[in-house]
Amino acid sequence: MKRAVIVLLVLLAILHQDFWFWNSIDPLVFGFIPIGLAYHIGVSLAAGILWTMAVCYCWPKDVDVPDAPLATPSTLQSERPR
């Protein structure tokens, strides 16, 4: 799955460079959004989905495991010298 995410990342980076909609505002998407802006909205949504895939499938599993239990207010109060 890691290779698929990398391939999609490269593909998204290539597709992000839109030179074909650079000088045109027609057609309007939904009647008011220029086609270039709509294209970049789609690229942004695809980037968010790709980042979610990268975190779910490529992130190391042992990074978020704490080494020691976290201190809570009750344990801090019990460790105070009196």
- Classify residue 34 as left (phi > 0), alpha (psi -120 to 50) or beta: beta
Are 59 and 68 spatial neighbours (Cβ–Cβ below 8 Å)?
no
Q: What is the pLDDT of residues 23-61, one digit of tens each?
A: 777 788 898 988 888 889 999 999 999 999 999 888 877
Residue 80: pLDDT above 60? no
- Is pTM, for the whole model, over 0.75? no
- Secondary structure (3-state) at 21: coil
Are 15 and 43 spatial neighbours (Cβ–Cβ below 8 Å)?
yes
